[in-house]
Amino acid sequence: MPEPESPISERNNFASAKHLPRKNNRPNDIERGKFLLELYQKALLLSEKELNDYFLDNAVSLTGSTIGFFHFISDDQKSINLTAWNSEALKNCVANYSTHYPIELAGNWVDSLRCKHPVIYNDFTKSPNQKGFPAGHVLVKRFMSIPIFENGKAKIIFGVGNKIDPYTEDDVIQLQLIANELLKIYKLREAEYAVRESEKKYRSLFENMLDGFVFCQMVVDEQNKPVDWLYLEINDAFERITGLKRETLVGKRVTEVTPRIKLANPELFKIYGRVALTGKEERFEIFYKPLSLWLSISVYCPMKGYVAAVLEDITERKKAEQDLWNAKNDWERTFDSVPDFIAILDKQCRIVRANRAMAQQLGVTPEQAIGLFCYQCVHGLESAPDFCPHAKTVKDEKEHTAEVHEPRLGGDFIVTTTPLKDADGHMNGSVHVARNITERKKAEEALEEYSEHLENLVEERTKQLKDSERLAAIGATAGMVGHDIRNPLQAITGDVYLVKTELTSLPDSDEKHNSLDSLREIEKNIDYINKIVADLQDFAKPLNPRVEETDLRLIITELFAKNKLPDNVKASVNVETEVKKLLTDSDYINRILYNLVTNAVQAMPKGGNLTIHAYKDKKTNNAILTVEDTGVGVPEKAKDKLFTPMFTTKSKGQGFGLSVVKRMTEALDGTVTFESQEGKGTTFIIEIPLKR
């Protein structure tokens, strides 16, 4: 069967690398960069179908194709989950497809999966293995497909077709870059869905609270004065209590929903604003005039500039209290119907009257409660405690409210003491009302935890998206610069070779030797530029390592043969027998060692010792490769950023070398670490499986 066309990736020996036809694709690189940035911005906003359609139509356009598809591969690697075709392909296709397609029945449109590398058929009519196309399938003239792998498994197959011109290696790079970003986006979406699941348990508590809850963002003017607040979330109880619906509130300002609020209840703006700015919790009762409701409100600040409020409808309680004063004939019935603990006390804190709920909690009848000292039967004390609001009311004859923890009554309470006065205005007792807030306290604590959880999720999600956008932009720029430099670099190399050849045939002279010395310096600089280009391209392109038997000693020997060390650097190599043969990607190992040896030599400008040691770790059974130098070492402040793209401690260089080492090591299922001390040297440690 004829072999499909396959692009050959460039390596260190760029002068002899083979290529498919290529062209300057700089405009496409710019468009690709714009497309990737827009794709990340829309990634979490679109439905799965919208994301697939948007991605595929743009990907097909970038390669100049007219039809395209991408499909996911099942975990068992036996079938293709048919996912998406672009609109042009669907418009011209009347064939019927099932959801899954066995790979063994598919024709050459899945050859890239079998070969594990990109495949191009620029004359599809003459391509081999044409099967698996149902009747009515769209006509294919040219075809290119690429596989995307992750952890050794095929994840996606991506194909485009019917480009007017032949497909080239530039087209392969375009598809590989954007297809890899699509895989990252799907992983981000999976993480987003997982986050949403974790939020369900909080949402359940949130929606099933008996008290209303509202979460708002305060709006301030230029003087930092609160002038409005924006509703961000409410629960079902808030809707039930206020009669206001979520769809009319969320995302709107309170002054939009309730225009009269500033005139009716201006104190709300002061309290909410004060809590949002100071972070101190406040509790209060208020008659909310726009809705004619009495509300007990506990407002706190989960994060600066925001307020969350738990509110309870106390309209009935207030009516009951009013009835106590205004409807003496109906007083007894109203008094006993209230579920709160109510007691009428004299000035000495003796119970004059207790409602049924209060008496039952004390374990007596309402009649038996008369004459008991409240501080004894409730608190077990011999005198009224300072925290009791009744003691304060006795002193200043004013109403007082306090939060009290009392296990004897069953938990936490909001206690309000209101003075009772005779016709002459003299206080002769008080009304003591205690409302159990134990469950509400638990709900508030859970809501505080939920708010903190939301804040952490927002920060983490924002950081992930920013990092992804930054790396996508760096990758697009690196690939574009690498392509633009490679062609003139090859031309310079050829010219240098021709000049050297011509000089060699000339008679010996000082001018000849000086010219040859200059050409050798030019070759050194060409090698340095080539390394930068290789690092750029290795950073930008997708990594799909292959598994093969690798001779580690041979790789190191050839590395030193091709790259001569300075005379003042002494090298020592020890490859132990257990790790001489590895099942891994030899090109990746060569690239990793080349970058680390180059870094080591550059760290020893005055010379030193370079030591390479390879051995088997007895604990993990992994191969360990160490590259040690006696150079200047890594500054302490630079250690955390050493593997960051475009970060370097050298006077020259682009800062991609160690980033490439990290990417390639991780692509081999390995890790890279380092130990360094300023002035004494650095050791890089590569740990990879003996068998990948």
Q: Work out the number of other CB atoms within 10 angstroms of the CB of residue 570.
A: 14
The Cα–Cα gap between 413 and 502 comes to: 100
Span 184-189, mean pLDDT? 79
Between the ranges 14-23, 254-263, 448-457, 507-516, where is the mean pLDDT highest? Answer: 254-263
pLDDT at residue 8, as a whole number: 34
Minimum mean pLDDT range among 54-68, 566-580, 601-615:
54-68
pLDDT at residue 617, as a whole number: 93
**Which backbone phi and psi does 343 adopt, to 5 degrees?**
-140, 140
Q: For residue 564, is pLDDT > 60?
A: yes
Sheet with 212-220: strands ordered across: 226-234, 212-220, 306-313, 293-300, 282-288
Strands 671-677 and 681-689: antiparallel
Contacts of 5 (CB under 8 A, 6+ apart): 20, 119, 120, 121, 122
The Cα–Cα gap between 547 and 36 comes to: 31
The Cα–Cα gap between 531 and 49 comes to: 42
The residue whose two tokens read 């359940």 is 204
* Nearest partner of 109 among 122, 100, 97, 121, judged by Cα: 121
The Cα–Cα gap between 93 and 608 comes to: 68
Q: For residue 500, is pLDDT > 90?
A: no
Burial of 115 (0-12, 13-18, 19+ CB in 10 A): middle
In angstroms, the Cα distances linking 314 to 226, 336, 493 are 27, 17, 87
Locate 379 and state its tokens: 């608190």
Strands 569-575 and 608-616: parallel
pLDDT in tens, 78-136: 888 888 888 777 776 655 556 778 888 888 888 888 888 999 999 888 888 877 666 66
**318 contacts 326 by C-beta, under 8 angstroms:** no
Average pLDDT, the chain: 80
Three-state SS across 583-612?
Answer: EECHHHHHHHHHHHHHHHHHCCCCCEEEEE
Q: What angle do CA 248, 250, 253 make, to 5 degrees?
A: 85
pLDDT in tens, 391-429: 788 888 888 888 877 776 677 888 888 888 887 888 888
Q: What pTM was computed for the model?
A: 0.34
* Per-position DSSP letters for 46-61, written without gaps between them: S-HHHHHHHHHHHHHH
* Nearest partner of 342 among 315, 324, 316, judged by Cα: 324
pLDDT at residue 15, as a whole number: 25
- The amino acid that residue 347 corresponds to is K
pLDDT at residue 328, as a whole number: 53
pLDDT at residue 119, as a whole number: 92
* Nearest partner of 595 among 523, 675, 520, 686, judged by Cα: 686
**Per-residue confidence at 614, pLDDT binned at 50, 70, 90?**
very high
Q: For residue 648, is pLDDT > 90?
A: no
**526 contacts 496 by C-beta, under 8 angstroms:** yes
Minimum mean pLDDT range among 4-13, 500-509, 528-537:
4-13
**Which backbone phi and psi does 655 adopt, to 5 degrees?**
80, 25
